[in-house]
A = this chain, B = another copy of it.
Amino acid sequence: MEAELDAARAAVEAHLDRALAPFGGHDIAAAMRHAATGGKRLRACLVLASARLHGVPDHQAIWPACAIEALHAYSLVHDDLPCMDDDDARRGQPTVHVKWDEMTAVLTGDALQALAFELVTHPEAGSGEVRAGLARSLAQAAGGQGMVLGQALDMAAERPGAALNLEQITALQRGKTGALFEWSAAAGARMAEADPAPLIRYAAAMGQAFQIHDDVIDVTGDAEAAGKAVGKDAAKGKATFVSLLGLEGARARAAALVDEAEDALSGYGSAADPLRRIARFAISRKS
């Protein structure tokens, strides 16, 4: 799995570098490169695996793969802002508002979101119908009914006395993390104009397992391995999957969700093994 992620990471970084070359040497361009560097590239890996499953070549799938990473990078830059999670480090590097300033961080996130839509509509990404469909579904996954809503609910959950229950946390995470995972896993099917439904079921379960494992890392992990601060949720007294289910309960639930994700892939046979490996990686990773 590490080798597959490494290969996806190398392809995405090289492609994003080329895409960002025309942006010049301004602070915003430098901060876009800073924010778009590093990370697990799990979402890109999902896009590429989903595309291969449907016979879509990598040189076509690399566009949505880079688009989802640009979109994810924008969300991290904004989530790290002082008015949101107020994080100083990300992927082992200073966050954009720390390395530059808040204004640059807001604008860099804005530019990375626009870049995601520029990349996903690149002529090499497919027919007009496919590219328009990818852009529209990406906008829906990213926006006020998807990721942004999830982030807003997450911020509201930190208010004193919020005390979310399991159902509420699950809904919140479905927006915050799940929407982009679902889009990524469905991308290959959309590019091949095939039914994305089984892949969306897979990603919904896998994304939830991923998020539960994030909560587990926040309790058990060390900051160096995670590349960011850990123990923050507990320090804030915030409800998490771990605080609600206990550590072992959370691990058991994540494992059950990975089984559920694998079940959703049964119709694809062994061609879906890369997606199965991604699901297992989601709950075994250290960061």
Please list the residues of chain A having a beta carbon within 8 angstroms of any beta carbon in chain B.
22-24, 26-29, 32, 74, 78, 81, 83-84, 101-104, 106-107, 109-118, 121-122, 127-133, 135-136, 138-140, 142-146, 148-149, 151-153, 155-156
Contact B28 A149, beta carbon cutoff 8 Å = yes
A138 to B136, CA, bound (A): 13
Contact A102 B131, beta carbon cutoff 8 Å = no
Task: Find A101's partner among B26, B83, B110 (CB 8 Å cutoff).
Answer: B83
A27 to B149, CA, bound (A): 9
Contact B152 A138, beta carbon cutoff 8 Å = no
Report B-chain residues with C-beta under 8 Å of the C-beta of A144.
23, 26, 28-29, 32, 111-112, 114-115
Seed contacts A117-B117, A128-B129; 13 additional CB < 8 Å A-B pairs: A23-B144, A28-B148, A28-B149, A78-B106, A84-B106, A111-B148, A113-B114, A114-B143, A114-B146, A115-B143, A115-B144, A116-B139, A118-B139
Report B-chain residues with C-beta under 8 Å of the C-beta of A78.
106-107, 110
Q: What's the dominant secondary structure at chain A's contact region?
A: helix
Contact A139 B121, beta carbon cutoff 8 Å = yes
Contact A110 B111, beta carbon cutoff 8 Å = no
Contact A135 B133, beta carbon cutoff 8 Å = no
Report B-chain residues with C-beta under 8 Å of the C-beta of A148.
28, 107, 110-111, 114
Task: Find A132's partner among B101, B114, B132, B146 (CB 8 Å cutoff).
Answer: B132
Closest to A114 in B: B143
A149 to B110, CA, bound (A): 10
A-B contact pairs, 19 of them (CB 8 A): A26-B149, A28-B148, A84-B103, A107-B152, A107-B155, A110-B143, A110-B148, A111-B148, A114-B140, A114-B144, A118-B143, A121-B132, A121-B133, A121-B139, A122-B136, A128-B128, A128-B131, A128-B132, A131-B132
Report B-chain residues with C-beta under 8 Å of the C-beta of A131.
128, 132, 135-136
Task: Find A152's partner among B28, B83, B114, B127 (CB 8 Å cutoff).
Answer: B28
A64 to B116, CA, bound (A): 19
Contact B152 A104, beta carbon cutoff 8 Å = yes
